[in-house]
Amino acid sequence: MGRGFTLLQKRYRLGTFAIIGWFLGNGELVSDVVHKKDGGRVEGEIVESKSNDTTLFLKTSFGTAQVARDDIARIETSASFNADYVQQKNSTPPTADGEYELALWCLERKLMTEYRLHLNQVIERDVDHPQARKRLGYVQRDGKWLSEDEARSADGYVKFRGKWVLPQERAQLEADRSKDSRRQDYGRKIRLAQKGLHQTDKPDRVESAIEDLLEITDTVAIPLLMNLLGKKGTEGDREVLVRVLRGIDGDESTVALVTLCLEDSSASNRDDSIDALAARNSPALLGRFVKELKSNDNNHVRRAGVALRTLGDKSVVPALVEGLVTRHERVYDPSFEEKLAGITGTSVKATQTEILPDGTMIRRNLLQGQNAQQAFAPNVPQRQVIVETKQNEEVLDSLISLTQENFGYDQEAWRHWLAREYRDEAAGQAKP
């Protein structure tokens, strides 16, 4: 181990000496530069062993590059760079202006490390050299030269992950980063617990998984819960989901419970969701369900009626009256086979799948010529909008429960009753 450490020390010293030599101008680390006729340039180390009469190969920091020799205008090798740089450096007077001219000379030849090196040497000789200061990114404030970092800090910016941002932006970025981290943690936790829920032969594991999920009270986890346990979950998963959402405060969980009320295929889960919502005092709840009474999805209309009955607020009675009988549109778009059946009177396939001897699978059109043209005949079934009128029993049940009246699906009778109720109420309020 001692010998290995000694070798490592030697390599470190050699690397250090090479870097020092490069900064002193011996140029050993300067690359070859290929100038192309179109104005482009490629920097790297020419690989003579691979190059030939037609192509030049260079080893660059991004890998091996190839340049056609016909596209090359000229080549500057590292040796020529070294000689030019050393000659230019030796002829430069040891003054601030001399160092500045040498820096510009390096810039023209894309020697960026040497360029910055000599700019720094300029301000060592003349601390107020304006051109060198500006090229190094300094700005002048109240007679003082400030680096970019100092200037940005003076302007009230702070650094966050290598970028300058305002303090409030940093706070938001840190919060977002925290959310991302928490979201990843919750994703792992929910997936692991979901596996436990499905181990029905191990009751202890199921109970432990439920307890783990009920510990979640962070709104950041709600989209994951809705996706994993809701959209992709089983009926049993969604039953647990309702229990978890019940324990999370805030509008996000309320919206999630409303979604389950309207879309869950299980009546039991929908009822549990409504019960969870009934315990919340959210002004937006009634408005959301009243809006669904006008939905084109009749399932949403009927399920909104059930929810409004449970919530028990009589202010929604006028909206329930209008939702008693609703019209719903659906688009009927006949398939090509149905169109053919309309022409021939029998069910006919338009295509046939065939496997060729080489294993290729193709789909052939069975209709050609006149038969294909008949698909556009006037008697062929066409795309149409079908309007259906629905009487919503759940909405009627809510009206009866809230008003103790029953006029069936007669909306006019309900409207007349509402008018009398409002008139009598107004008259009662007007009495001294």
Q: Grade residue 258 by pLDDT with cuts at 50, 70 and 90.
A: very high
The rounded mean pLDDT for the chain is 81
- Give the mean pLDDT of 6-17: 40
Report DSSP letters for 325-375, one per residue: EEEEEEEE---HHHHHHHHHSS---SEEEEE-TTS-EEEEE---THHHHGG
**Which residues have C-beta within 8 Å of that of residue 76, sequence separation ≥ 6?**
32, 33, 35
- Give the mean pLDDT of 10-35: 47
72-76/63-68 β-pairing: unpaired
Q: How many CB atoms lie within 10 A of CB 395?
A: 27
Among 309, 301, 291, smallest CA distance to 398 is for 309
Question: Is 407 within 8 Å of 414 (Cβ atoms)?
Answer: yes
Q: How many CB atoms lie within 10 A of CB 132?
A: 24
Highest mean pLDDT among 87-96, 179-188, 238-247, 338-347: 238-247
Fold of 172-280: Transcription Elongation Factor S-II; Chain A (1.20.930)
Highest mean pLDDT among 16-20, 187-191, 326-330: 187-191
Q: Grade residue 24 by pLDDT with cuts at 50, 70 and 90.
A: very low
- Give the mean pLDDT of 320-349: 76
pLDDT at 345 over 70: no
Beta-bridge partner residues of 177: none
Domain boundaries, the chain: 92-155, 172-280, 336-382
- Give the mean pLDDT of 168-190: 85
Q: How many CB atoms lie within 10 A of CB 24?
A: 10
CA 313 – CA 311 distance, rounded (Å) = 6
Is-above-0.85 flag for pTM?
A: no
CA distances to 6, 181, 291 from 214, in Å: 59, 20, 31
CA 233 – CA 245 distance, rounded (Å) = 15
* 51 DSSP 8-state letter: -
